[in-house]
Structure 1
Amino acid sequence: MMSPFNIPRHTVHLFLCILIALLISFNKTKATPTFRYNQCPNTSSYTPKSTYESNLNKVFSSLSSDANNPNNNGFDYSKAGNTAPDIANGIYLCRGDLSNDDCQDCVATATKEAVQRCPNQKTAIIWYDECMLYYSNQTFTFSNVDQSVREIFYNTRTMTDTNHFKEVLEVVMNDIATLASSSESGRKFATRQADLSSFQRMYSLAQCTPDLSISTCNTCLRDAISNLPICCDGRLGAIVWFPSCYVRYELYQFYQLTTTAPPPPSPGREGKKGRKGKKISISTSVSAFIVIGLLGCFIHYQRRKARTKKEIQSLDLAGGRFDSDYNSGNLQGEKHVKLQDFASIKLDLIHGATKHFSEENKLGQGGFGPVYKGILPDGKEIAVKRLSRTSGQGLQEFKNEVTLIARLQHRNLVRLLGCCLEGNESLLIYEYMPNKSLDVFLFDSTKGAELDWKRRILIINGIARGILYLHEDSRLRIIHRDLKASNVLLDHEMNPKISDFGMARIFGGNQSEANTNRVVGTYGYMSPEYAMEGLFSVKSDVFSFGVLLLELISGKRNGGFYLYEHGYSLLTFAWKLWCEGQGLEMIDPLLVQSCVTVEALKCIHIGLLCVQENPADRPTMSSVVVMLESDTVTLPQPTRPAFSVGRLTLKSAQSLPNVNALSINEVTLSNVSPR
């Protein structure tokens, strides 16, 4: 096919690409700085349009303009105001390989975003891959190491050959600390590369603020490096940040290699060959422009395609935590789950909805992290689950929930609306449950009255149908593993919705049970075979449901019940009353007026069937649903319930000297705060 000027079309396309390349070379597109983390100490705040805010804006303006000064070595300090407490101080540090323009862009971005992320705070620190900004109403002490703030990020994946990896990392980090601290460039910055194998390379970086001496910089970097074996043993990548210095390593190039000085030429090799090398360098640069142009065309085309899709940031970039494709070993027979399959909600929208995760919007605290209420611009209420950086099991919970709950649709399961993965934030956004969780009502002497007999029966049936859906009616067979009152949410009509699928497991094919060394869940709701042997199945959830059913009838918790009833757990107490024909004494006094006696005794009967010690003796959830809804089904006689997961387990835990020891094997004895 020829153009009107008899020039082949592909030649025209190539010409246009080269032209674009030239335009790109003269009009370089500014890259957006990659946000990592911010900290708002909340030590003191200022009022809008105050003197401090005016001084802070002056500091920001000064730092943003000075960041383009090549004499600053990517580091500068500014102060505004003369009278405390309105004096504002600020510093920035740009990564040593950044150009002056890129440094200025990052600092300008940081001055805008810092006040958005830490509104009205007199002190804040914000980190990007490219720069750090720190401001405060307190005077900075220069030439001294500042370790008042420490942040660590790491990739959750580990190397297969960890011994070799750690040996290489130790050598590299020792070298790079020496190189950076003794750097003659004035930037106190160094990078290193090291081959882990013939096809894998490690990239590392170390940097101090230029005000530090060689010895203090070295001390700061060594302290940062000393954290790596503790936090990040064998991890594929990690960052340790202090205000005065930081170190980082990855298995991909995260800095500009051109900043690393080439090896010096061998003696006597200059002369004509050196001049020839310069010519080759010039011609190579011209070729590079053409390559950049072609690449620019391709990128431009890809970006146009991407605009029609929902924007979502790679999880691997969000703090190096995990990949955007999560292939769980538990999702047997399932394809890879891609984040693009789920709705992505922008972080600034969540900030506005939750008032930047304000305390007044906090609904509760779980093992995953805090949960906040939010209101979107259209008035829709949401609940935002925020991954805590100190959570021991939050990452696994997050991956489970994103890859699992989004596939489930049932009126008795909480609905996941979307997720947010920007910067270092990992957020799950759910439909908001205005009545919080079941335990808020059930175990409160005042609110418990709102759960009359009719309401409790509806809640019991709803929970049973939700579990039945997980076990048999969904396209995946799912074991919840953490069914309890605090994980049952109540909507505006008090309908129950099962939540918290972070510990759930999926069974494939004809699989009926599995074993694990990682016991997770809550004592009191755990079946004995799971708590003692790590063996779980659908019957594990049946046991948890039985405990929950007896709690709904009695209005008392299983965990800690022995404190009130002469050493009995709720299960053993129910068994004692049942054997003595005194089952009605089990019923919550708040139900006396509304209770249907026959129905209450049937529920106690079903509850005891569910908590039998032998899993084979427990009914399936389909049988439980039939028992609850039918008046004609003959119920078998229950056998003695499991004693081992009640009073005896809890009493042995009391003898431990430290309360923190109660979270052994990631099993918690405390009750999660409601959403």
Structure 2
Amino acid sequence: MQRRRCSLAAAAALRCLLLVVVAVADDAGGATATATATPVILATVCGNTTAADQEGFDVSFVNALELIYQNVTRSGFGAAASGEGADTVYGLGQCMGYLSPTDCQLCYAQSRVKLPHCLPATGGRIYLDGCFLRFGADNFTAVATDTSDTAVCSNATVSSPAFAATSAALLRNVTAAAPGSRDYYYSASSSSSSSSALPSGAPRVYAAAQCWRSLNASTCAACVASARDRVVGRCLPRAAEGYGLNAGCVVRYSTQPFYLPANAAAAAGTSTRHIIIVVIASVFSALAVIGMALVWAKMRNRRSDHHDDMDGSSEIIRTIAASHLSFKYEELRKATDDFNQINKLGQGGYGSVYKGVLLDGREIAIKRLFFNTRQWADQFFNEVRLVSQVQHKNLVKLLGCSIEGPESLLVYEYLCNTSLDHYLFDAFKKTALDWERRFEIILGTAEGLSYLHNASEIRIIHRDIKASNILLDERFRPKIADFGLARNFMEDQSHLSTGLAGTFGYMAPEYIVHGQLTEKADIYSYGVLVLEIITGRKSHNSVASSAEGHSLLSLIWKHYNEGTLMELLDPNLREQCTDEGALKVFHVGLLCAQASPNLRPPMWKVVEMLGSRNKELPRPTQPPFINIKGSNAKSDSSGSSSLKSNSDKSPFSLNQLSVSGVQARKLKS
């Protein structure tokens, strides 16, 4: 064991140093941006007016930003409006033309997490290094300048006397060219522009200008001219970098080639020599550190294990190693035939899942986690700690884990029918889900959530209830799985403030907007799941499959108001259930998916509703949803809120990727 720890320590030291080598080499090579870098926030401006109906405004806000996201990921720009009357929210998002599609999505994701901090104000905007996002109660999409326009200058300075003149001339050139360029974007450097030759001793300058695509050419020209004059007046003659931030555009200059890809910005000869020197030096350093790690591991006294770490993971490791939960890594590796792809059952949010057969013939499911950061380690220990404390017929049973090998593994009971989404959304397989089985899945999932929220020793919020996290046994009985995102409540806590985590399309609007987590977020996700089960439609892509341009929640609400819900029942169930039984399930799903968290029934009440025959249910209120009013969409006379897109009339689809925020606050168990 001591030799194994020694090897692992050496391997960890080598991996760490290799990461340092890569980082230093990238820096020496002149890389200007990476896809993993967090975009820098340049400025945030929040309005002074508060929404009269904050709850209704929040729902419209979430809807507007969701539609913008769909368009930004496709084309780098999106503008939308959601809601009616005083609850109407307009939004606009734009990435700078020099961002790659991946960097654009990362930048928008960062802005989307930060902008809700302006709520409950009825307006706000955020400028990041590479993208812009704004919302407001009035239509601002054609506005080029306003009183909130500003400029941001770097603290780094340039002493060259010719720098100011060179930068100003370059800015004049790019702002003159941007209104006539594709997507109103233009970039150039002081050596490639039409200005005079670069003065002796002056550093090369790079500049870019971009207007939002919602403007026309004339307002774009006025916008970039205003931003240019502001950044020249405030940042020059000495600031090495400056941004002119207007309502309708951004103008930027810098001594760094910010708009060039990393390989184009790398210097050739001298930088290459520097990289070789750094790598060689790092290799020798690695060898030295590995040697020290070997000596340290040999001399380390086991008593040092008793030092408590910050998150208690050492105690968890010792407890697991001494319990029946501990599996040997080699035993699990052989059970999966060295994690053969043939045995792979699926891909989860935190690793891959494989089927395994132990020497005694037991079939198991093994979740294989590779964590390279503290957050990934937290997810592993969180799942072990939580799941090992709960036991219920509708929760996947944790059999144990492996913590001593090169990677961490979770071992669960094997469920032969995999997950609900494999059947529910497959035209051929869904026939196996008759009415009786679907109702049992709906009721069993409710019972499992009720246990987590109310009956277990610790209150647990799952945070990622969806079809792919409902596993099915040989009789198609449901078991809730994947507790990697779960959080537990203390008895005196009403809510948690956490990083954003879950799956878009299933996440409650109040959680997306405010980040305050209660069991009501699980109830909302459950409501969406129920409506998916009874209709056989995916919530996230129903807009694309609907000729009317409605999301699933919107479509169900429309038919509810018209008294035609049975038209949405999965055709496979038409002859298998009564109208009364189907309508009750529709009704329960709508109650759980209401926009107001206070109106959603607790899960124990949901179980009671599903089990009772004659009990009258309360009337649901409107759920939050997105309607697309495109050129081919029929008008909706139901009075429901709508989303209108300025950038894209085509339907969109959401994905089912689980999304986690930076890091949730640690809790005491």
Name the TM-score, length of structure 1 as normaliser: 0.51
Q: Distance in 2 between matches of 1:484 and 1:567?
A: 23
* AA partner of residue 352 (structure 1): K
**Are 1:460 and 2:442 matched, yes or no?**
yes
Superposed displacement of residue 370, structure 1 = 1.0
1:415-447 CA-to-partner distances (Å, cap 9, x unmatched) read 111111123211101111110000000011100
Aligned AA for 2:382?
N
How far does residue 450 in structure 1 lie from its aligned partner after superposition?
A: 0.4
Whole-Å Cα distance in 2 between the matches of residues 221 and 323 of structure 1? 39
Is the 8 Å Cα contact of residues 315 and 323 (structure 1) preserved in structure 2? Answer: no
Name the CA distance, whole Å, in 2 between partners of 1:485 and 1:456: 12
Partner of residue 532, structure 1? 513
Partner of 1:544: 525
How far does residue 642 in structure 1 lie from its aligned partner after superposition? 1.3
CA distance in structure 1 between the aligned counterparts of 2:424 and 2:455, rounded to whole angstroms = 29
Deviation of 1:530 after TM superposition, in Å, equals 0.7
Which residue in the other structure is 2:541 paired with? 560
Give the Å deviation of 1:590.
1.1
Structure 2: distance between partners of 1:464 and 1:635? 17
Equivalent residues in 2 for 1:76-475 (5 A)? 222-223=278-279, 246=286, 254-256=293-295, 323-325=313-315, 340-341=322-323, 343-389=325-371, 394-475=376-457
Residue type matched to 1:222 in 2?
A: V
Equivalent position amino acid for 2:473 in 1: D
- Closer, same or farther in 2 for the Cα pair 1:30/1:472, shift >3 Å? closer
* Match of residue 600 from structure 1: 582
RMSD of equivalent CA atoms:
4.5
CA distance 1:396–1:33, shift in 2 (3 Å): closer
Q: Max radius of gyration: which structure?
A: 1
Read off the aligned partner of 1:602 and give its amino acid letter: K
Q: Which of 593, 598, 615 is the matching residue for 1:616?
A: 598
User: Contact between 1:354 and 1:374, CA under 8 Å: does it hold in 2?
Assistant: yes
Letter in 2 for 1:462: G
Q: Distance in 2 between matches of 1:511 and 1:646?
A: 39
1:626 lines up with 2:608 in the alignment:
yes
SS of residue in 1 equivalent to 2:388: helix
Shift of 1:246: 3.0
1:521 matched to 2:502? The reply is: yes
Q: Per the alignment, in what secondary structure is the counterpart of residue 616 of structure 2?
A: coil
CA distance in 2, matches of 1:414, 1:363: 15
The amino acid of 1:547's aligned partner reads V
Change (3 A) 1:408 1:554: same
Q: Tell me the alpha carbon deviations over residues 142-162 of structure 1, each in whole angstroms, 9 at most, x when there is no partner.
A: xxxxxxxxxxxxxxxxxxxxx
Q: Please state whether the residue corresponding to 1:377 is helix, strand or coil.
A: coil
Kindly tell me: are residues 540 and 449 of structure 1, through their superposed partners in 2, closer, same or farther at Cα, counting changes over 3 Å?
A: same
Share of identical aligned residues, percent? 41
Give a deviation string over 1:258-289, Cα, whole Å, max 9, x none: 99xxxxxxxxxxxxxxxxxxxxxxxxxxxxxx
Equivalent residue number for residue 666 of structure 1: 660
Q: Which amino acid aligns with 1:460?
A: I
Distance 1:315 1:560 in 2: 51
Separation of aligned partners in 1, 2:583 and 2:619: 13
Contact 2:501–2:658 under 8 Å retained in 1: no
Q: Deviations over 1:230-267 (max 9, x none)?
A: xxxxxxxxxxxx7x9737879x97343899xxxxxxxx
Q: How many pairs does the alignment contain?
A: 391
Contact conserved, 2:461 with 2:487, CA < 8 A, in 1? Answer: yes
Partner Cα separation in structure 1 for residue 401 and residue 659 of structure 2:
28
CA shift, 1:511, in A, is 1.9
Query: Cα 1:338–1:355, aligned 2, differ >3 Å: closer, same or farther?
Result: closer
Q: Secondary structure at the match of 1:549?
A: helix
Q: What is the CA–CA distance in structure 1 between the aligned matches of 2:314 and 2:280, rounded to whole Å? A: 28
Q: 1:423 to 1:563 in 2, by over 3 A?
A: same
Shift of 1:603: 0.4
- Does residue 635 (structure 1) correspond to residue 617 (structure 2)? The answer is yes
3-state DSSP of counterpart to 1:409: coil
TM-score (norm 2): 0.52
Match of residue 569, structure 1, among 551, 574, 577: 551
- Are 1:34 and 1:129, in contact at CA under 8 Å, matched by a contact in 2? no
Secondary structure of the residue aligned to 2:488 is strand
For residues 597 and 489 of structure 2, what CA distance do their matches in structure 1 show?
Answer: 17
Residue of structure 2 in register with 1:136 after alignment: none
Return the alpha-carbon distance in structure 2 between the equivalents of residues 432 and 455 of structure 1: 19
Q: Structure 1 residues 651 and 406, CA, compared in 2 at 3 Å: closer, same or farther?
A: farther
| Residue ranges of structure 2 left out of the alignment (5+ in a row) | 16-270, 630-641, 663-669
Q: 1:366 to 1:341 in 2, by over 3 A?
A: same
One of 565, 570, 589 as aligned partner of 1:588: 570
Greater RCO, CA 8 A, separation 6+: 2
Residue 217 of structure 1: how far off its partner (Å): 12
Partner-residue secondary structure (3-state), 2:587: helix
Aligned partner of 1:489 in structure 2 is: 471
Q: Secondary structure at the match of 1:430?
A: strand
After superposition, the Cα gap between the structure-2 partners of 1:33 and 1:387, relative to the gap in structure 1 and judged at 3 Å, is closer
Alpha-carbon separation, structure 2, partners of 1:459 and 1:30: 48
Q: How far 1:503 sits from its partner (Å)?
A: 0.7
The letter of the residue matching 1:637 is R
* CA contact 1:315–1:321 (8 Å) conserved in 2: no
Other structure's SS at 1:457 match: helix
Rate the CA distance shift 1:661–1:494 in 2: closer, same or farther, 3 A.
closer
In 2, the alpha carbon distance for the partners of 1:625 and 1:408 equals 19
The residue number in structure 2 matching 1:118 is: none
Note the C-alpha offset of 1:35: 3.9
Q: 1:470 to 1:219 in 2, by over 3 A?
A: same
Q: In 2, are the aligned partners of 1:342 and 1:419 still within 8 Å (CA)?
A: no
Distance 2:278 2:375 in 1: 29
- 1:520 CA drift (Å): 0.4
Query: Cα distance 1:367–1:474, how it changes in 2: closer, same or farther (>3 A)?
Result: same
Residue in structure 2 matched with residue 476 of structure 1 by the alignment: 458
Cα deviation, 1:150-198, whole Å, max 9, x if unaligned, reads xxxxxxxxxxxxxxxxxxxxxxxxxxxxxxxxxxxxxxxxxxxxxxxxx
Give, in angstroms, the shift of residue 533 of structure 1.
Answer: 1.6
Mean CA deviation greater in 617-626 or 644-653: 644-653
